[in-house]
């Protein structure tokens, strides 16, 4: 059986984040209204505590967000900075070597956190702010290049159609976005491409993209899969957000087998174990202990 190639390792500030297996990116939301209640942190102390738990459970990097991805109360630039910057500062003081990502589509927010310990900017809205990649390039940061089908930030999809097919659109968008990031000065090894399931997509679109993870990884950049408890998982199984763990892990295992390099996850311990098990199955890592039948 031929094993698909894994996407390249993610490098941030000159270091490979997790050589040998897919990295686990923990979700920490400095918000009170994120779609998954267990990921909400109402203040800086709660967010730092959540990071400590994630690290204990095996997170390889953390993604800190200050604005709910979907519809909700407006959050201005200043308020978003006030939410995330103190968390970044506190986490960097607590964990000197932990890679830190900030989930924002705004260049002003990226600029405000660039000098206080951030390694990666997770632009989940596909370059809506064209100045954001320039911030990443000037400060030596990594950047997530995403696909939303042109959707505006914090909007939900409605009868989205891709005339040439969703996969073709995703591949073209990610390729051009990655090239633009590199042209702005971002190290190609620090450009993380994300098909961005659910954003600008129906459940059918997201399922098709998951099955095509190998083609996305084939773009030659580190590949992110943000699958955790998303609506396409819930709709596939008919389950609410708090009952989507098993579906998420199944989707994650498929993505990992097909070559995903980073998983963004709410459930770090379980996701870390899936990452390690799939790495062993693929032959990327040896078993932690293999004595059965030998001793």
Taking the domains of the chain in order of start, what are their residue ranges? 11-282
Q: What is the pLDDT of residues 94-130, one digit of tens each?
A: 999 999 999 999 999 999 999 999 999 999 999 999 9
What DSSP line would sit under the chain, residue for residue?
A: -PPPPPPPPPEETTEESSTTS-EEEEEEE--S--SSGGGB-SSHHHHHHHHHHHHHTT-SEEEEESS-SSS-S---HHHHHHHHHHHHHHHHHH-TT--EEEE-S-HHHHHHHHTTT--EEE-TTTTSSTTHHHHHHHHT-EEEEE--TTPPTT----S---TT-HHHHHHHHHHHHHHHHHHTT--GGGEEEE--TTTT--HHHHHHHHHTHHHHHTTSS-BEE--TT-HHHHHHHT--GGG-HHHHHHHHHHHHHTT--EEEES-HHHHHHHHHHHHHHHTSS--S---TTT-
Burial class (CB in 10 A: 0-12, 13-18, 19+), 238: exposed
Structure tokens belonging to residue 254: 């498929």
Residue 161 has pLDDT above 80, yes or no: yes
Query: 73 pLDDT band (50/70/90 cuts)?
Result: confident
How many whole angstroms separate alpha carbon 140 and alpha carbon 128? 21
Q: What is the pLDDT of residues 163-222, one digit of tens each?
A: 999 999 999 999 999 999 999 999 999 999 999 999 999 999 999 999 999 999 999 999
Residue 1 has pLDDT above 80, yes or no: no
Average pLDDT over residues 31-59: 95
How many whole angstroms separate alpha carbon 186 and alpha carbon 142? 6
CATH of 11-282, one of 3.30.110.30, 2.60.40.3140, 3.40.50.10890, 3.20.20.20: 3.20.20.20
User: Which pLDDT does position 135 carry in this prediction?
Assistant: 98
User: Which pLDDT does position 7 carry in this prediction?
Assistant: 96
Residue 139 has pLDDT above 80, yes or no: yes
Q: What percent of the chain has pLDDT over 70?
A: 100
According to DSSP, the residues that pair with 145 across neighbouring strands are: 193
User: Which pLDDT does position 20 carry in this prediction?
Assistant: 87
Cβ partners under 8 Å of residue 151, min gap 6: 125, 126, 157, 199, 200
Predicted model pTM: 0.96
């Amino acid at each position: 059986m031929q094993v698909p190639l894994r996407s390249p390792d993610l490098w941030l500030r000159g270091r490979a984040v997790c050589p040998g297996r897919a990295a686990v990116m923990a979700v920490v939301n400095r918000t009170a209204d994120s779609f998954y209640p267990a990921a909400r942190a109402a203040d800086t102390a709660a967010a730092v505590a959540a990071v400590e738990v994630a690290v204990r459970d095996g997170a390889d990097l953390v993604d800190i967000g200050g604005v709910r991805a979907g519809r909700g109360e407006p959050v201005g630039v200043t308020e978003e900075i006030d939410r995330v910057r103190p968390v970044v500062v506190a986490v960097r003081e607590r964990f000197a070597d932990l890679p830190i990502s900030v989930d924002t589509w705004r260049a002003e927010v990226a600029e405000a956190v660039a000098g206080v310990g951030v390694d990666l900017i997770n632009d989940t809205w596909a370059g809506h702010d064209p100045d954001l990649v320039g911030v990443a390039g000037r400060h030596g940061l990594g950047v997530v290049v995403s696909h939303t089908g042109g959707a505006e930030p914090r909007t939900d999809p409605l009868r989205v159609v891709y005339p040439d097919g969703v996969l073709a659109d995703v591949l073209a968008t990610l390729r051009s976005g990655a090239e633009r990031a590199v042209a702005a000065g971002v190290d190609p090894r620090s450009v993380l491409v994300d098909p961005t399931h659910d954003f600008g997509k129906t459940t059918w679109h997201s399922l098709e993209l998951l099955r095509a993870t190998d083609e996305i990884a084939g773009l030659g950049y580190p590949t992110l899969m943000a699958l955790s408890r998303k609506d396409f998982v819930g709709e596939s199984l008919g389950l609410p957000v708090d009952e989507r763990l098993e579906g998420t892990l199944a989707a994650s295992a498929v993505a990992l087998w097909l070559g995903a390099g980073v998983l963004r996850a709410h459930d770090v311990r379980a996701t870390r174990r899936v990452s390690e098990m799939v790495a062993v199955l693929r032959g990327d890592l040896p078993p932690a202990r293999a004595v059965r039948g030998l001793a």
